Amino acid sequence: MLTRNAVRAMRLTVLGSAGSYPAPGRACSSYMVEDQGYRLLVDCGNGSLANLMQRVRVDSIAAAVITHRHVDHMADLVGLYHLLRFHGEREERLPVYAPPDVLEVMEALLPGDDALHDVCQFETVHAGDRLSLGPLDVSLFAADHPVETVAMRVESTGVRLAYSADSGPTPELARCAAGADLFLCESTWAVPIGSRPAHLHLDAREAGEIATNAGVGSLVLTHVAYPGTGARAVLEARATFGGTVIEACDLDDHVVGSPFRPQAAPEAGTPGA
């Protein structure tokens, strides 16, 4: 059970932690950041909407940031759209902040642009932009990925959360994560792979190196591509980062800036909140 102080702090909920495709018990990339009653959805990959609905009413999400157009980070926006259009109770459109091609994909997948914009208010963002979302200050950085992708830093009440999105090695990630209490970093490959494509993803040792260079408090490895390799990824990251390292798991909660361990799930009835 979360303490009263923890409830008031920034909290990260993992809604999807799998890399590139779902795995048993794991949806694709999605996270919820909560602070002072404000709920921000970050990415919305395959299967993650079901996890979101286990925790909160979808109508209670204040805004969403989608880091890029790959389906393992945005596929469930389609389901979210249908839910809000036909079964939601929002009086206002859901603000969705994303690179421009996310909107293009959504318009191609849904039956009509007018209906989409009745439900979601898309705002185009790029690396270098800053957003003020409720109590959250969000800064966007350029990830190294084949399509336009933004990493992000979220700050509030003296704590800082960073998220790599999908990225190959780039100094921008250390800038994004500088001084973060918690760094949520992709680790698609548990171990170094010599023949892997360039400008695509990180391995766990690289994630640890970035965390060390950025001086982060704790490192959460996510987007591990192969089921069952998360424990190996943690061991590899510990070779290059001396702080706490943990694997992201679906429906884990973490209080940002607190001693690092998954928090207990909210009490029964919270999804109606």
Report the pLDDT value the prediction gives residue 168, as an integer from 0 to 100: 96
**Which pLDDT does position 227 carry in this prediction?**
80
Strand partners of residue 136: 133
**What residues form DSSP beta bridges with 85?**
none
Q: Would you state the pLDDT for residue 115?
A: 81
Which pLDDT does position 47 carry in this prediction?
97
Asked whether residue 22 is domain-assigned, the answer is: yes
**Residues facing 142 on adjacent strands:** 150
Name every residue whose Cβ is closer than 8 Å to that of residue 269 and which is 6 or more positions away in sequence. Answer: none
Per-residue model confidence (pLDDT) at position 106: 92
What pLDDT score was predicted for residue 193? 80
Question: For residues 36 and 154, is the Cβ–Cβ distance under 8 A?
Answer: no
pLDDT, one tens digit for every residue, the chain (273 residues): 333 344 458 999 999 999 889 999 999 999 999 999 999 999 999 999 999 999 999 999 999 999 999 999 999 999 999 999 999 888 899 999 999 999 999 999 887 767 888 899 999 999 999 999 999 999 999 999 999 999 999 999 889 999 999 999 999 999 999 999 999 999 999 888 878 888 899 999 999 999 999 999 999 999 998 888 999 999 999 999 999 999 999 999 999 986 544 444 444 344 445
Residue 182 domain-assigned (yes or no)? yes
pLDDT for 273 equals 53
Q: 269 in a domain, yes or no?
A: no
Q: Would 264 be classed as within a structural domain?
A: no
**Which CATH number do you get for residue 238?**
3.60.15.10
pLDDT for the residue numbered 197:
83
Q: SS in 3 state form for the chain?
A: CCCHHHHHCCEEEEEECECCCCECCECECEEEEEECCEEEEEEECCCHHHHHHHHCCHHHCCEEECCCCCHHHHCCHHHHHHHHHHHCCCCCCEEEEECHHHHHHHHHHCCCHHHHHHHEEEEECCCCCEEEECCEEEEEEECCCCCCCEEEEEEECCEEEEECCCCCCCHHHHHHHCCCCEEEEECCECCCCCCCCCCCCCEHHHHHHHHHHHCCCEEEEECECCCCCHHHHHHHHHCCCCCEEEECCCCCEEECCCCCCCECCCCCCHHHC
Provide the residue range defining the domain that includes 196.
Answer: 4-257
> Has residue 60 been placed in a domain?
yes
Residue type (1 letter), 235: L
Q: What is the pLDDT of residue 8?
A: 55
Residue at 59 is within a domain:
yes
Number of domains in the chain: 1
pLDDT for 169 equals 96
243 domain residue, yes or no? yes
Confidence at residue 9, expressed as pLDDT on a 0 to 100 scale: 83
Considering the domain boundaries, does residue 267 fall inside one? Answer: no
